[in-house]
Chain A
Amino acid sequence: MTAFFTYHNPKKEYGKLPQQGLGSMTNEIIQQKLTEKFGDQLTNWEAQFGLLTFTGQAADNLKVLQFLYDDETLRFRFMTDLTAVHYPSRKGEELCVVYLLHNLVDNIRLRFKVYLPIEKPDVFTASKLFGSANWQEREAYDFFGVNFVGHPNLTRIMNPDEMDYFPMRKEFPMEDPTRRDKDDEMFGR
């Protein structure tokens, strides 16, 4: 019969959410350094599940990202994720671009949000700073229509090139209208 065992690390607390800032770098230090440099351009500080989140101005996103990259104590040199969200109820700033940054040395994560109006969703590209931003920005453009100014190749990445709408926006219907066999009664609409 096969032997079956799991690795048990007695020092680790299983079943709990990972805590940030167990070492010398904490959320408070990051917040303090950022407010020293940028003041009240950065708003809406909160920490969900220990992940520090803040909102910035769309025109200054590169300044904030560059500062987080260059600073020798902050060292946020890895971008885990770049995605977009559509909030149709926030008038004037419907699209939100979310950057998820990671400090590999101190193991701390940070979420940086930038809100954009839907009539003119322009924001500067982070692809010169982070290599992973290239395709992720193409995906955000493909599904939400966020225009990344300065991107080397801003074309659709997953959907067919001839598509002229942005599927993940809330005004686009979730279900395909050509389907004939689904009736409203059985599907609860």
Chain B
Amino acid sequence: MPRPVQYNTNVKPAVIPEGYAGEGYFSTTFDKIVELGRKNSLWPLPFATSCCGIEFMATMASHYDLGRFGAERLGFTPRQCDVLLVAGTISKKLGPVLRQVYLQMAEPRWVIAMGACASSGGIFDSYSVLQGIDQIIPVDIYVPGCPPRPEGLIDGVLKLQELVQGESLRRRNNPVYKELMESYGIQ
């Protein structure tokens, strides 16, 4: 039974950085290009442990496509990914493993804590569950929910993109960043 077609007239066009445009070329400063490139091609590593992993799979599927925002290729190795997407309950036994995975990632790297369990332990306040992954690795975005709706995760990824746009090109020499890494014991 066909239903009337709905066209989305509410599309927000992407903002073009300032620069000189001409016939067949566009020039801006170097960091704007790199920011655009990094922002729109974040390759996530889904560190999916439990129910949030299933919700992440639903977000990557066709209905709530996360590939629209550049996350089409999931690298299941930390050597090739930009974002560590921790989805699910992390137990204290898995803590050192997660830290090792984070240490293997190359700069620039970001972390999204998806769901209540990764952000703060969730409803599992017990002897075996790590109460939030920010006890072992620095986290950029926390997506609340148990599990978060796919729209919520997409919102988190969009906020991460804004964060990525605002970062300097080589933040590893920044003293604030160095201090943060020191506090986690990471060189």
A182 within 8 A of B: yes
A186 within 8 A of B: no
Find the B residue at minimum CB distance from A167. Answer: B127
B170 within 8 A of A: no
What residues of chain B have their CB less than 8 Å away from a CB belonging to chain A?
Answer: 92-93, 120-121, 125-129, 131, 135
Assess whether B128 is in contact with A179, with CB atoms less than 8 Å apart.
no
Listed A/B pairs (22) with beta-carbon separation below 8 Å: A158-B128, A159-B128, A160-B92, A160-B93, A167-B128, A172-B127, A174-B125, A174-B126, A175-B125, A175-B126, A176-B121, A176-B125, A176-B126, A176-B127, A176-B129, A176-B131, A178-B131, A178-B135, A179-B121, A179-B131, A181-B120, A182-B125
Interface residues on A, range: 10 to 19
Residues of A within 8 A of B121 (CB): 176, 179
A174 and B121 CA atoms in complex are apart in Å by 14
A160 and B129 CA atoms in complex are apart in Å by 11
Residues of B within 8 A of A179 (CB): 120-121, 125, 131
Find the A residue at minimum CB distance from B96. Answer: A160
Would you call the interface of chain A mostly helix, strand, loop, or mixed?
loop
What residues of chain A have their CB less than 8 Å away from a CB belonging to chain B?
Answer: 158-160, 167, 172, 174-176, 178-179, 181-182
Residues of B within 8 A of A172 (CB): 127
A179 and B135 CA atoms in complex are apart in Å by 11
A158 and B93 CA atoms in complex are apart in Å by 9
Find the B residue at minimum CB distance from A173. Answer: B127
Find the A residue at minimum CB distance from B127. Answer: A167
Residues of B within 8 A of A160 (CB): 92-93
Residues of B within 8 A of A182 (CB): 125
**In the complex, what's the smallest C-beta–C-beta distance from B124 to chain A, in angstroms?**
9
Residues of A within 8 A of B93 (CB): 159-160
Across the A-B interface, the 6 shortest Cβ-Cβ residue pairs: A167-B127, A160-B93, A175-B125, A179-B131, A178-B131, A176-B131
Additional 4 contacts, C-beta under 8 A, given A159-B128, A172-B127, A174-B125: A175-B126, A176-B121, A176-B126, A179-B120
Residues of A within 8 A of B131 (CB): 176, 178-179
A182 and B129 CA atoms in complex are apart in Å by 16
Find the B residue at minimum CB distance from A156. Answer: B93
A34 and B12 CA atoms in complex are apart in Å by 82
Residues of B within 8 A of A167 (CB): 127-128
Residues of B within 8 A of A174 (CB): 125-126
**In the complex, what's the smallest C-beta–C-beta distance from B42 to chain A, in angstroms?**
29
A182 and B93 CA atoms in complex are apart in Å by 23
**In the complex, what's the smallest C-beta–C-beta distance from A156 to chain B, in angstroms?**
10
A182 and B121 CA atoms in complex are apart in Å by 11
Find the A residue at minimum CB distance from B91. Answer: A160
Residues of B within 8 A of A175 (CB): 125-126
**In the complex, what's the smallest C-beta–C-beta distance from A3 to chain B, in angstroms?**
27
For B93, B125, B127, B131, the residue with the greatest tally of chain A CB atoms inside 10 Å of its CB is B127
